[in-house]
A and B are shown apart, each in its own frame.
Chain A
Amino acid sequence: MSTIPARLARTATMSSGPAEARTKVLKLYRDWYRGAPEICTLYSLGLTPGYIRHAIRQRFEENRHVTDVRVIDHLLLKGRQDYQETMNSWKQNDHVVGILLAPRGRPQQTFMQKFLEGRDEDQVLPAATGIVHPNIP
């Protein structure tokens, strides 16, 4: 199978506001979500599309708190690059399973482990970055 490298290439663009950035994020999520079965067959992962979708969803949820449009644009650029690399089969299986789909949260720790590490509460996510826009809830 030959790939057309420029097929999924997107230029880096600046969003005019949070609304435009939001539609772009949804479009990227839709592309990933639609592409999950193809990723399974492309890399013959032995995983269900549902698992891939769950992992992708977690990637998006990690950045839910981001409100700065410039940061969102940057994340979109990286997401697009990742999508292009994945769908054009420029990755190896390990890149997909070990990096793209690997669960990223901190592993569960016992009280003693936390105590020895010097903190007894997990780090909390920042509430927001940059300016909070009143229009977008």
Chain B
Amino acid sequence: MFRLALRQARFAPAPIRAIKPFNAIRTYAVAPITKEEVTNRAFEALKTVAALQESNLSVESSFTKDLGLDSLDTVEALVALEEEFDLEIPDKISDEIKTVGEAINYIFEEEQKL
């Protein structure tokens, strides 16, 4: 066993001590969020709303007309999106949002501002 250990020690490669060249390009930890990513996360968040669990979501679908939500359900859907993206949609804007796409557009624009 000792012989084996000795042999391994003898043939162990010498540690590489090359100096890494200085990296002049600045890299960011997180890439800027894409629209596709916003859409996917929004759909995931909307699926948690009880009234939307069974429905077919698409960007064009209107909350009240296509998805059959009442006004309180719409509030719930928008708050679910707020919690997912950690932002607060002001009351005036959330009254105007009628479709899933409008909500995604608003969130995407807000994320760009960060």
Contact = CB atoms under 8 A, between A and B. Distances in A.
Task: Judge: A and B partners, yes or no.
Answer: yes
Q: Is the interface of A mostly helix, strand, loop or mixed?
A: helix
Contact of B72 (A23, A34, A60): A60
B95 A29 contact: no
B95 A26 contact: yes
B104 interface: no
Contacts of A26: 71-72, 75, 95
Interface string B60-84: 0000000000011001101100100
B91 A33 contact: no
Size bracket, chain B contacts:
10 to 19
Interface residues of A, number: 11
Contacts of A104: none
A74 interface: no
Nearest to B76: A33
Nearest to B70: A64
A23 B95 contact: yes
A57 B79 CA distance: 14
B11 to A, nearest CB: 60
A60 B95 CA distance: 18
B94 interface: yes
A131 B42 CA distance: 40
Contacts of B82: 34
A30 B89 CA distance: 11
Given A23-B95, A29-B75, 7 more contacts: A26-B72, A30-B75, A30-B91, A30-B94, A33-B75, A33-B76, A57-B72
22 contacts: A22-B71, A23-B95, A26-B71, A26-B72, A26-B75, A26-B95, A27-B91, A29-B72, A29-B75, A30-B75, A30-B78, A30-B79, A30-B91, A30-B94, A33-B75, A33-B76, A33-B79, A34-B79, A34-B82, A53-B76, A57-B72, A60-B72
Interface of B: 71-72, 75-76, 78-79, 82, 91, 94-95
Interface of A: 22-23, 26-27, 29-30, 33-34, 53, 57, 60
